[in-house]
Amino acid sequence: MARIINLSDKHITGFTLVDITPTGMTRDPGVNSLSRNQQRNWETVIQCIGLRAQPMNLQCFSPDNRMELEDLKDWEFGEMYTGRHKIWAFSFMVEHSNVFAQGNDPLKLLDDSFDEVPVTTYLTETAKFILPVFYTSGAIKNIYFKIGSLKLNS
């Protein structure tokens, strides 16, 4: 299981049920649209972060290289999602502290940047979504963020 180490408020980790596997496939090969669509979702993550900050040291950990199916009771996704599912995690740094802060919420603007942004679904994710978008709150929350850097337990 992954854990968060709070090195500074410049380190942020996100968790999602959406397949955001970075494949490096930047052209549609026609025969393998899976890898292109996974890359498109990863590019969407980068673009959403980039609305307010330049992500540095960006890393993605897909279920294929980091963990087995996880019981969602230990995670902070919406209550619509139960049982065991694939979870993608990504960590990044930003240059300025509190760049995503609004009021008392240090990540409010990051949530706002991702909320209801379209994604491609029916890739390798195990969760089923009502609509193909990121949701950052409520019963259908499929992405969330934590201050700190991702550390994986061996």
Q: Per-domain residue ranges for the chain?
A: 2-152
Give the SS3 label for residue 116: coil
Q: Identify which of 151, 152, 107, 146 has the alpha carbon closest to the alpha carbon of residue 12.
A: 146
Q: Identify which of 141, 4, 130 has the alpha carbon closest to the alpha carbon of residue 61.
A: 4
H-helix segments, 16-154: 33-50, 63-66, 108-114
Is the Cβ–Cβ distance between 149 and 4 less than 8 Å? Answer: yes
pTM equals: 0.90
Tens-of-pLDDT digits for all 154 residues of the chain?
Answer: 556 656 567 899 999 999 999 999 888 767 668 999 999 999 999 999 999 999 999 999 877 655 578 899 989 999 999 999 999 999 999 998 899 999 999 999 999 999 999 999 999 999 999 999 999 999 999 999 999 887 655 4
pLDDT for residue 154: 41
**What are the tokens at 143?**
């992405």
Neighbours of 14 (CB within 10 A): 24
pLDDT for residue 149: 80
pLDDT for residue 86: 94
**What are the tokens at 65?**
């290289």
